[in-house]
């Protein structure tokens, strides 16, 4: 880091006023006002060079946007409202101040539309690739958070948009479905929800395991993104396989105890366990081939 005090002074100059932030970044800790009787919902997510992005290919602003948007997408997954974020970055030795500023401007570009204040963080240099972590604080704001654990047999399964091929670029530029999630949770009896980061097969399996249920997905109902078709031309894997397993779509996957006309129905929750795919040939187990976190 060339001069950390210069960077901190610059960050302070970038902060926008937010009524709920009583003391912004710049002191030892920030101070927030929290509405009485509101739940505090917290999470953290990191992106690593070579795993979630490629610093040779992706500019720092888009990297900052991605790490913030991943956290905002987790807020969407629970139908809660983002309030504030804290960012920690480990910069490769020799990074300059303008690179660090661009990372911050990416965070801010993603956070500002949701009135999510960046209230603090930490910066250091190390002789390794870029590692970037954001912690998010959110509130329930009148809507009971939707977890992964309450899907019931008979519930319909929905997604909010077409899937597959996000690696062609959408994984860096997606829009977190925060407002859509809160609309859905307000108007429909949602029972479980998750954002599609790991791929439909794996994320639906997360819901099934945590709810103690099974699921049947109909292959003809899954909307395939044009990127999945394009990727299929390049690697000759069927577009449906990309839609089922690629991940980083950041659409919402949810279950609902009734019909929902604002999303795309792809199947139904069942008793038992495991996810099955319905095709012309009948039912077959759907393997969980999506993104597996490297531990």
* Closer residue to Mg ion in complex, CB, 227/251: 251
The whole-angstrom separation of Cα 247 and Cα 231 is 13
* Closer residue to Mg ion in complex, CB, 195/246: 195
Please report how close the Cβ of residue 195 comes to Mg ion at its closest, in angstroms.
4
Q: What is the CA radius of gyration of the chain?
A: 20
The window from 122-130, 152-160, 191-199, 281-289 that contacts Mg ion (CB under 5 A) reads: 191-199
Asked if 195 interacts with Mg ion (CB under 5 A), we say yes
Please report how close the Cβ of residue 76 comes to Mg ion at its closest, in angstroms.
9
Closest by Cα among 98, 101, 80 to 179: 80
Asked if 205 interacts with Mg ion (CB under 5 A), we say no
Residues 55-74 binding Mg ion (CB under 5 A) are 74
The whole-angstrom separation of Cα 138 and Cα 181 is 14
* Closer residue to Mg ion in complex, CB, 155/198: 198
Residues 89-148 binding Mg ion (CB under 5 A) are none
End-to-end Cα, the chain, rounded Å: 29
Please report how close the Cβ of residue 207 comes to Mg ion at its closest, in angstroms.
11
Q: Up-side HSE of residue 237: CA atoms within 13 Å toward CB?
A: 13
Please report how close the Cβ of residue 197 comes to Mg ion at its closest, in angstroms.
5
| Cβ 196 vs Cβ 252: under 8 Å | yes
Check the CA dihedral 204-208-209-210 and report its sign.
positive
* Closer residue to Mg ion in complex, CB, 11/244: 244
Closest by Cα among 76, 291, 78, 294 to 202: 291
Q: How many residues bind Mg ion (CB under 5 A)?
A: 3
The window from 13-21, 189-197, 217-225, 230-238 that contacts Mg ion (CB under 5 A) reads: 189-197
The whole-angstrom separation of Cα 163 and Cα 244 is 7
Query: What does the chain come to in residues?
Result: 295
Asked if 45 interacts with Mg ion (CB under 5 A), we say no
Check the CA dihedral 228-229-234-240 and report its sign.
positive
Please report how close the Cβ of residue 169 comes to Mg ion at its closest, in angstroms.
20
* Closer residue to Mg ion in complex, CB, 84/252: 252
Please report how close the Cβ of residue 74 comes to Mg ion at its closest, in angstroms.
4
Positions in the binding site for Mg ion (CB under 5 A): 74, 77, 195
């Amino acid at each position: 880091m060339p001069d950390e005090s210069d960077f901190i002074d610059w960050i302070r100059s970038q902060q926008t006023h937010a009524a709920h932030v009583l003391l912004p970044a710049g002191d030892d800790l920030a101070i927030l006002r929290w509405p009485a009787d509101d739940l505090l919902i917290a999470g953290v997510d990191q992106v690593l060079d070579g795993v979630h992005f490629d610093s040779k290919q992706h500019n720092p602003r888009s990297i900052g946007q991605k790490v913030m948007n991943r956290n905002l997408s987790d807020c969407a997954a629970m139908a809660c409202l983002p309030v504030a974020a804290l960012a920690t970055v480990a910069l490769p030795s020799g990074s300059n101040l303008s690179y660090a500023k661009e990372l911050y401007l990416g965070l801010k570009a993603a956070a500002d539309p949701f009135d999510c204040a960046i209230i603090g963080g930490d910066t250091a240099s190390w002789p390794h690739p870029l590692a970037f972590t954001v912690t998010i604080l959110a509130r329930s704001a009148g809507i009971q958070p939707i977890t992964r654990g309450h899907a019931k047999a008979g519930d319909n399964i929905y997604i909010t948009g077409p899937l597959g091929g996000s690696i062609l670029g959408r994984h860096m530029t997606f829009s977190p479905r925060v407002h859509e999630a809160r609309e859905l949770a307000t108007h429909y009896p949602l029972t479980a929800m998750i954002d599609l980061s790991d791929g439909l097969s794996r994320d639906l399996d997360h819901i099934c395991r945590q709810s103690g249920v099974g699921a049947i997905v109909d292959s003809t109902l899954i909307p395939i993104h044009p990127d999945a078709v394009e990727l299929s031309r390049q690697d000759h894997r069927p577009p449906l396989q990309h839609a089922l397993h690629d991940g980083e779509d950041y659409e919402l996957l949810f279950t609902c105890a009734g019909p929902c006309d604002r999303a795309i129905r792809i199947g139904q929750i069942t008793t038992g366990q495991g996810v099955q795919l319905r095709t012309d040939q009948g039912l077959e187990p759907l393997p969980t081939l999506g993104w597996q976190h490297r531990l």
